[in-house]
Structure 1
Amino acid sequence: MAGAGSMIDCCDLIAGLAARGWNQGSGVPCSTFAGPIAHLSASGHYRAAANEGLALSGAVGARLAGRREAVFLQNSGLGNLINPLTSLCQPYAVPVLALVSMRGWPDPGADEPQHALMGQTTETILSALGIWHTVLTAESLDPALDRAEQMISSGRSAFLLVPHRSISQHPGTMPALRTGGPDTAEVTSAVADACPPGTAVFATTGYTSRYLHDALDRPENFYMQGSMGHVSSLALGYADAAPEKTVIVLDGDGAALMHLGALSTIGAAQPANLVHVVIDNGGYESTGSQQSTSGTTDLAAVAKACGYRAASTVDSVQALQQQLASAAAAPGPHFILVRAGRTVRQTPQRAGASLSLPHIAARLQDATLPAAAAASHA
């Protein structure tokens, strides 16, 4: 089977990169790279990036200053990276080294459905862009790194494709996520309990959509699997097209930071029926609890500056319930930042394990269109 092999030792990978001058890393967390990210973070040699394109651009900047910086990403985020790859790296002839974890590959049917298309097309896309790439395994570690080094030296970027969960964990530990405050399960349950009948709820990818599905599955819930950072824009489009519906977004700090410009778009659009709840636990819990950059970003202040009518920060379920009630009594958009703690309980299965993704979309449409039709004839 393509990509098969024994587990890559995390420390061997980092040592191999360092031996070739790649002592620094940047990227977006992925469970496959939990070990390497922990290793580099422990020595202060990893910079968290809000999205993959920013990581790549930062690596180009570091290269211009004489430092080699490897980029870590999952192939699901390749789209975020293509713009600077094709309009910065290649035309300016500044090569980069990227390590890409491969979801939906080699067998798309063996992974979650949102990864199938990228799993099938990642190699084709890289080939079409003229990017040299090869599969990285424990057996091919040194030869692949040597070949990548040759590509970099010749002025070409090199992409190392890493099979899913094929790298061992780092023997150390990642810095703990924020403690105190309600966890993701408590926040999603509180929102589900507060929803009036007919409220549309859009939940971001990761644990948030899982816990919402577990708390209260209903046709008006949209569970995002993949498309990290896009749930608020998805909800904005829906809210604008169905102004008679109350719309709640359940977002995460890492997801909100990934496409922070969405807050400005929402502020400018002024959807009166939109409530945006961001669960800020300080990191990416579902990929290994790597820290996000929310610790230095006041997302509520950003939302207010972007034009949300109201923005608040809460640190308890009771305070969240109070803010949800206030939001229901006044026009939005409203922004509620929940200072959350780490979730220490069994994680429920994804909504996609029992509901097909097309069915999730279709049933929301079915629940919405009769109401929209009635409103248009009122």
Structure 2
Amino acid sequence: MISAEDFCALLEARGYTTASGVPCSHFGGPIALLGAREGRYVPAPNEGSALAVAAGAALAGRRAYVMLQNSGLGNLINPLTSLVMMYRLPVLTFTSLRGWPDAATDEPQHAVMGPATPRLLDALGTPHHILREDGGPAAFEAILDATDGELAAGRAPFVLVERGAIGGVAVEPPAGKPGLTAAHAIRVVTKALPEALVIATTGYTGRDAFAVADRPGAFYMQGSMGHAPSLALGVALAHPERTVVVLDGDGALLMHLGALSMIGHLAPPNLVHVVLDNGVHESTGGQPTTSSTTSFTEAALAAGYVSATSCAREQDLARAVGVADAAEGPALVRVPTLPRTGEMPPRATAALGPEAMRDRFLGALGAAEPPRS
């Protein structure tokens, strides 16, 4: 293992002045250290944006690198191939190795991308190196020697990071603020709309929803971060007779904020979009999101939502989702939520396999049969 302090210091010693990324627990230490230094880390909404930020820094003459989780590698492919590789911009990318080498040792959402990560990079012709858990500063220096040469040759190297290869640092919890716990907010919403179909976003939101408000008509996303509103839109358009509630998070919504415009344009009257906003990427270590400077309610209204409101109290939240359901939506309800404490509940797939969850949801819709696997 290399400490987070050494990881940052060795990169800085080689002239790297700019970093960007999307949170992953593998990089929690470096992100915390860099984020505490003004101008050193750009928290990006998604992996493609992170790479483009680093590419812009490289275009301006700075050395830059990116940190991300391999589950979001697909978001990176377009700017990698048509920007960084096309213009030969010197950007170094660090990617966690979730679901590798054995997909069975990780969560279901990593089963495909985990083993495919090295093969995908091979197919793109990008050199890659592995920073292993048992590697220290000397091993990291050797990797950086190799990537320096590759960058000088106009290539786009990747460093694949095993779990535990980079140490963490202590992170102060966010300051207290008024609001509900996420679990309590989910109880209030689902109790107010007992017949609604529910789409829960990835991370702790899905865990809380499964623990406190499970129902056959609930679908829990464990990957595809940022796509819960789009998934809910597809369901709402297919079943206009059913209310569809999407339980979203601030980090997830920021990742693909353009979904608001798509939903507002199509204007499904049966979609209620609930955003649980705690200001952090909680499931990856508590890295701050940029929601403190973003008004989700104003963005939704500007995108064409019929209504949007923010509720910090239980009675206001129950009333708001009831009004949203009765009105011709789409409607957005933002709920400021408190940091989670204590042990997190298990993922839904710990009890239901992905296909069983799909089939149960179809059953709640009265579908004749599930799609063929």
* 1:164 shift after superposition: 2.1
| Counterparts of 1:207 and 1:270, CA distance in 2 | 28
| Counterparts of 1:349 and 1:287, CA distance in 2 | 15
Q: TM-score, normalised by structure 1?
A: 0.93
Do structure 1's residue 225 and structure 2's residue 222 form an aligned pair?
Answer: yes
Do structure 1's residue 18 and structure 2's residue 16 form an aligned pair?
Answer: no
Identity of aligned residues (%): 49
1:63 alignment partner in structure 2: 58
Q: TM-score, normalised by structure 2?
A: 0.95
| Counterparts of 1:247 and 1:22, CA distance in 2 | 46
1:196 alignment partner in structure 2: 194
Deviations 1:188-237 (A, max 9, x none): 1212222223x100000000000000002211000000100000000000
Tell me, yes or no, if the aligned pair for 2:63 and 2:90 is still in contact at 8 Å: no
Aligned ranges for residues 338-349 of structure 1 at < 5 Å? 338-349=335-346
| Counterparts of 1:272 and 1:116, CA distance in 2 | 36
* 1:25 shift after superposition: 1.1
Deviations 1:104-125 (A, max 9, x none): 0111000001101100101111
* 1:259 shift after superposition: 0.5
1:115 alignment partner in structure 2: 110
1:177/1:205 CA distance change after superposition, 3 Å: farther
Unaligned runs of 5+ in 2: none
1:133 maps to a residue whose letter is H
1:330 alignment partner in structure 2: 327
| Counterparts of 2:176 and 2:68, CA distance in 1 | 24
2:57 maps to a residue whose letter is A
Do structure 1's residue 76 and structure 2's residue 71 form an aligned pair?
Answer: yes
Name the SS of the counterpart of 2:87 in structure 1.
Answer: coil
* 1:185 shift after superposition: 1.2
2:37 maps to a residue whose letter is S
| Counterparts of 2:229 and 2:189, CA distance in 1 | 16
1:215 alignment partner in structure 2: 212
Tell me, yes or no, if the aligned pair for 1:192 and 1:212 is still in contact at 8 Å: no
| Counterparts of 1:189 and 1:146, CA distance in 2 | 53
1:180 alignment partner in structure 2: 178
Tell me, yes or no, if the aligned pair for 1:177 and 1:289 is still in contact at 8 Å: no
- RMSD over aligned Cα atoms: 1.5
Deviates more, 1:105-114 or 1:186-195: 186-195
Name the SS of the counterpart of 1:104 in structure 2.
Answer: coil
* 1:344 shift after superposition: 1.8
| Counterparts of 1:256 and 1:330, CA distance in 2 | 23
2:290 alignment partner in structure 1: 293
1:89 maps to a residue whose letter is V
1:151 alignment partner in structure 2: 150
Tell me, yes or no, if the aligned pair for 1:274 and 1:334 is still in contact at 8 Å: yes
| Counterparts of 1:174 and 1:83, CA distance in 2 | 36
1:267/1:135 CA distance change after superposition, 3 Å: same
Tell me, yes or no, if the aligned pair for 1:183 and 1:343 is still in contact at 8 Å: yes
1:106/1:178 CA distance change after superposition, 3 Å: farther
1:280/1:313 CA distance change after superposition, 3 Å: same
2:87 alignment partner in structure 1: 92
2:217 maps to a residue whose letter is E
| Counterparts of 2:238 and 2:274, CA distance in 1 | 20
Do structure 1's residue 8 and structure 2's residue 2 form an aligned pair?
Answer: yes
Tell me, yes or no, if the aligned pair for 2:198 and 2:247 is still in contact at 8 Å: yes
* 1:187 shift after superposition: 1.3
Deviations 1:255-313 (A, max 9, x none): 00100110000001110100000011111011111011111111110000000000111
2:124 alignment partner in structure 1: 129
| Counterparts of 1:260 and 1:23, CA distance in 2 | 28
Tell me, yes or no, if the aligned pair for 2:18 and 2:54 is still in contact at 8 Å: no
1:3 alignment partner in structure 2: none
* 1:362 shift after superposition: 1.2
Deviations 1:51-93 (A, max 9, x none): 0000000101011111112101000010100010011111111
| Counterparts of 2:112 and 2:89, CA distance in 1 | 29
1:351 maps to a residue whose letter is A
Name the SS of the counterpart of 2:251 in structure 1.
Answer: helix
Aligned residues: 364
Do structure 1's residue 263 and structure 2's residue 257 form an aligned pair?
Answer: no
Tell me, yes or no, if the aligned pair for 1:200 and 1:247 is still in contact at 8 Å: yes
1:293 maps to a residue whose letter is T
1:80/1:337 CA distance change after superposition, 3 Å: same
Deviations 1:151-207 (A, max 9, x none): 111111111000123321125x3572663211211111212222223x100000000
1:367 alignment partner in structure 2: 364
1:162 maps to a residue whose letter is V
1:31 alignment partner in structure 2: 25
Name the SS of the counterpart of 1:226 in structure 2.
Answer: coil
| Counterparts of 1:165 and 1:358, CA distance in 2 | 31
1:242 alignment partner in structure 2: 239
1:297 maps to a residue whose letter is T
Unaligned runs of 5+ in 1: 1-6, 373-378
* 1:340 shift after superposition: 1.6
Tell me, yes or no, if the aligned pair for 1:52 and 1:78 is still in contact at 8 Å: yes
1:306/1:347 CA distance change after superposition, 3 Å: same
Tell me, yes or no, if the aligned pair for 1:177 and 1:281 is still in contact at 8 Å: no
1:376 alignment partner in structure 2: none
2:36 alignment partner in structure 1: 42
Tell me, yes or no, if the aligned pair for 1:177 and 1:283 is still in contact at 8 Å: no
